[in-house]
Structure 1
Amino acid sequence: MSRRRGPLTGLLAAELISLTGTRMSMVALPWFTLATTGSAARAGVVAFAEMLPYVLACGLGGPLLDRLGHRRVSVVADLASAPVLLAVPVLHHAGRLDFGLLVTLIALVGLLRGFGETAKRVLFPDAVTASGMALTRATALHDGLGRLATLLGAPLAGVLILALEAPAVLALDAVSFLLASLVVAALVPAPADPVRTVAPAPAPARPGRWASYLRELGEGLRFLFRDPLVGSVTVLLLVTNLADAAYSSVLAPVWAREVAGSPAALGALSASFAVGAVLGNVVFTALAPRVPRFATFAVGFLVGGAPRFLALALVDRLWAVYLISFVAGLGLAAINPILGAITYERIPEALRARVLGLGHAISWGGIPLGGLLAGYCADLATPAVAALVFGGAYLAVTVWPLLSPTWRRLDHPASGAPSPVAAPRPTDDEAPAPGDVARTG
């Protein structure tokens, strides 16, 4: 491992370890809740409890991360997450875990994970710049590791739930938090203090901490919506992430329990999506500098979004549901690299923590409601009706890029847009590409 790429390698390794554990919990936690409560609505409540503090930590934690240091927050947040999550299986086996305590512990895990993941996202561009890798290619690699984590974690969780039960899988996720913390501490150095490239808003001569905190959040919010493309992407992801949360936290687990009758089916569903996503990511990583972003983005969302929901509601053959999930993974593989590259290229380094945090929080703002609404919809109507409702919303919003000229800017850099990430020197077979905003499921 070269010294230049050491920090990037360490950061990606930590992400792979942590995300693999998280993907295992994404199968184990809803299955555990459904098995112990028998209620889709309660599974939605647990998903809401995890994601609400996660979103708040992402959105409001930027200035705090700037003060405490991104590397320090990443290490401490992962380190603290391990014992909190481990308490769930320990208390369950001791007969001391009631539903309220489960919700409380999962909410705390969500809060810590929000701080830790935001810190890693802020560390990522500096690690890429130090490595000399092209930004679009690096974000594609980063996204591919996330898909690989699903490919590894989801089916493994299904098998382990059958063999050891869901609490044991949650314990393994706790171990993954600990390992990720150690990897970042050992391999990722603290970045140098950024040079401020955007003048701060006028402030009182001696502002209180609260006023300073709000002013810094305001700077991030103003920058976030200064570009209409960035604002449009954030709104689109608000809706698609809400629907994705409904799918992953309630609709798919309920389908696996009531239709397929096995946690292994839930793992296979996630794995089929991940296989498609990994294959698509490999192709996009190689072709990223040469493919049109707008066409890739628009078609990918249409292919990868609504069909998954329709399959759960209307298709009764498991192989067909898995095939549709695989094709959806292919379609969505390029979305995150495109959005991630544009985001990092447009945001000044001094504002990156608060802008990324706010953008992430807004685009993920519907996620807590996604699981909650899907759970109650599935209980009050049927899981199939709930899948059709959320699939219809997904289809409606992903048609938007085809109708609005704003989205054509995906293929063009913003005029005069800041370039906080130094353009890596292109290799012989690539040129630096322009880039954009958030993250899908």
Structure 2
Amino acid sequence: MRTGKPFLALAVAETLSLAGTRLSTVAIPWMVLTATGSPVLTGLTAMMEMLPYVLAKALGGPLIDRAGAKRVAIICDTASVVVVGLVPFLDFLGMLTVPVLLPLVFAMGVLRGPTDAAKQAMVPDIAALADVPLERVTGVSSAIERLASTVGAAGAGALIGLIGPGQALIVNAATFAAAALVVATGIPGMRPTSELPAALDAPPDEVPSYLDDLREGWRFLRGDAVLVSIVAMVAITNLLDQAYHAVLLPVWTQHAGHGPELLGAMFAACSGASIAGAAIAAVVGERMPRLIVYTVAFLLTGFPRFLVLALDAPLGSVFATLAIAGFASGFLNPILSAVIFERIPRPLTGRVTAMNTALCFALIPFGGLVGGALISTTGLGAAMLLCGLAYLTATLSPLALKSFRGFDKAVA
């Protein structure tokens, strides 16, 4: 029997949490950059959130399988309300310095990792309840993610300019609270995947340890050539994207004499255009030639964004390039998510998807540092160009690696 209510609830929860998260990804780097003037410290702050995010996501996979994705999402989102809320509270008291901010940012990453992984692990069950193809669910989810990013980025710029970056995070705390409430009331309790049959190779009467669960997920992931290729390529592009978003673009905006309003508008232009791409992928995703669309979309998404800023092109050209890149990027997550979910046995969903995403994010913590270091040593224009060329090289890998040939083959 079809039921769309859980899918709607998951969509609303993701919209709320992602919009708030996008706000914080604009507000926190801008806060550090304007307070210190240091691209390196700005990159360090970004690393302090993303490093625990990656580790918590990887290590949280077995917890999701054991406790259930819904429970993990509610607990982590609720705890995030307190942690994120401390930033505007301390800022109001005049006590928010960089040494105080860093442990709070670290805690944000620890909580965001498992909750993001838990929401992702719900997708196969939600697709089954709604009786729709995975590409449809992942496409709609991606469109919602892009919409949330657009609203969060555009709102962030205006809100930061109005009340300051620290106080703007009040909205971030509120979105986490609302997301926890929606998940609690709108998504039915689902059987933990560790209770499903044939979850592990262990004998039926033997209870596997948490470490055994992690090893099982790792063994499956490293044995699938397509998943390994995806991890390698996406990890590199994520590193460069983080350098771009956390340091290169904010520094370019500041050097060009603009404020956080323009920074938020540029983020919104890219993510706004991506809504259309994701919506198209949701409608026709199951009929698209995956590898061709994936490769072309990545080529349009990456290098042009860096090149147009390296050349100091007019703002009109910058926004047009960002719109094209955003539209193309909308096709990526629906395709990637469908490929990944199709290849993972249902009992291993939590641990393998969490580990896969964590490995894809493994280099993100260092993206801000790479961006800051490149600007300090080569200058902003050269840093943009070097990152763009590295991005171009990574996005050509599907044409060179034979392992990507299995991209279009569905695995039950």
- List aligned pairs for 1:384-423, cutoff 5 A: 384-413=381-410, 417=411, 419=412
Equivalent residue, structure 1, for 2:346: 349
CA contact (8 A) 2:81 2:174 kept: yes
**How far, CA to CA, are the matches of 1:114 and 1:269 in structure 2?**
26
2:378 corresponds to 1:377 = no
Whether 2:345 is the aligned partner of 1:323: answer no
Deviates more, 1:170-179 or 1:260-269: 260-269
How far apart are 1:180 and its partner, in Å? 0.4
How many corresponding residue pairs?
410
Q: SS at the partner of 2:62?
A: helix
- The structural deviation recorded for 1:202 is 6.8
* Equivalence for 1:199: 200
- Please give the per-residue CA displacement for 1:288-347, whole angstroms capped at 9, x wherever unaligned: 122211110111111111111112211331111111111111121111101101111111
Deviations along 1:95-141, one digit per CA (max 9) or x if unpaired, are 21221110100110111011111111111211111011221011000
Contact 1:84–1:105 (CA under 8 A) maintained in structure 2 = yes
Q: Mapping of 1:152-167 within 5 angstroms? A: 152-167=151-166
Structure-to-structure mapping, 1:191-230, within 5 angstroms: 191-194=190-193, 195-201=196-202, 212-230=209-227
Cα shift readout 1:358-382 (whole Å, capped 9, x = no counterpart): 1111110000011122122223332
Distance across 1 between alignment mates of 2:373 and 2:403: 36
Matched, 1:289 2:290: no
Given that 2:39 and 2:372 are in contact with CA atoms closer than 8 Å, whether structure 1 keeps it comes out as yes
Q: How far off its partner does 1:242 sit? A: 0.6
Contact preservation (8 Å) 2:299, 2:392:
yes
Are the aligned partners of 1:201 and 1:219 in contact in 2 as well (CA < 8 Å)? Answer: no
**Hey, what's the Cα distance between the residues in 1 that align with 2:308 and 2:389?**
12
The Cα shift of 1:3 comes to 7.6
Correspondences of 1:52-63 after superposition (within 5 Å): 52-63=51-62
Which consecutive unaligned segments of at least 5 residues does structure 2 have? none
Among 344, 365, 369, which residue is 1:368 paired with?
365
Letter aligned with residue 106 of structure 1: V
What's the counterpart of residue 33 of structure 1? 32
Structural mapping, 1:248-287, within 5 Å? 248-287=245-284
Give 3-state SS (helix, strand or coil) of 1:90's partner. helix
Inter-partner Cα distance in structure 1 for 2:81 and 2:150:
22
Q: How high is the TM-score relative to the length of structure 2? A: 0.95
User: Could you tell me which residue of structure 2 aligns to residue 117 of structure 1?
Assistant: 116
Query: 1:192: Cα distance to partner?
Result: 2.0
What residue is the counterpart of 1:436 in the other structure? Answer: none
Could you tell me whether the CA contact under 8 Å between 1:197 and 1:349 is conserved in 2?
no
TM-score (norm 1): 0.89
Shift of 1:14: 0.3
Whole-angstrom distance in 1 between the partners of 2:397 and 2:22? 30
After TM superposition, the structure 1 = structure 2 runs for residues 230-249 of structure 1, keeping only pairs within 5 Å, are: 230-249=227-246
| 2:189 aligned counterpart, secondary structure | coil
1:73 is matched with 72
Judge conservation of contact 2:277–2:331 (CA < 8 Å) in 1: yes
Shift of 1:284: 2.0
SS of 1:172's equivalent in the other structure is: helix
User: For residue 130 of structure 1, what is the aligned residue in structure 2?
Assistant: 129
Q: Partners of 1:230 and 1:290 in 2: how far apart?
A: 21
Mark the CA change 1:289 to 1:206 in structure 2 (over 3 Å): closer, same or farther: closer
| Residues 1:198 and 1:317: Cα distance change in structure 2 (over 3 Å) | same
Distance 1:385 1:63, change over 3 A: same
Tell me the percent identity.
Answer: 39
Whether the aligned pair in 2 keeps the contact of 1:196 and 1:349 (CA below 8 Å) is no
* Structure ranking higher in helix proportion: 2
